[in-house]
Amino acid sequence: MYARNVRIKLRANCVPEFTRLLEKEIIPLLRKQKGFQDEITLVASQRNEAIAISFWDKQDNADASNHVVISTS
């Protein structure tokens, strides 16, 4: 198993929108990716920061997820 960590700096007062986007768009998109196992996201709302840890079956599949485009418009 391979874990991939991503640190995300959020805009002020953006935590509810980030949480909605994560649950409704990002997680469903990741579930469609080859080798995706699970995701853990930690949010520090006081610091407007999130840490996302995704779990993959192989490093190649985790690396391939870097090329997925997510539209936030």
- Please list the rounded mean pLDDT of every run of 10 residues in the chain (73 residues): 92 91 93 94 91 94 72 48
The reply to whether 73 falls in a domain is no
- Answer for the pair 11, 48: CB distance below 8 angstroms, yes or no: yes
Residue 6 belongs to domain with CATH number: 3.30.70.100
Q: In sequence order, which residues have a C-beta less than 8 Å from that of residue 37 and are 6 or more positions away?
A: 1, 54, 55, 56, 57
Query: Does 71 reside within a domain?
Result: no
- For 17, the domain range is 2-63
Sign of CA dihedral 48, 53, 59, 64: negative
Q: What is the pLDDT of residue 73?
A: 46
Question: Of how many residues is the chain composed?
Answer: 73
Q: Supply the DSSP symbol for 33.
A: S
Residue 45 pLDDT: 83
**What's this model's pTM, rounded to 2 decimal places?**
0.79
How many domains does the chain contain in total? Answer: 1
Q: Is 7 contained in some domain?
A: yes
What pLDDT shows up at residue 65?
A: 75
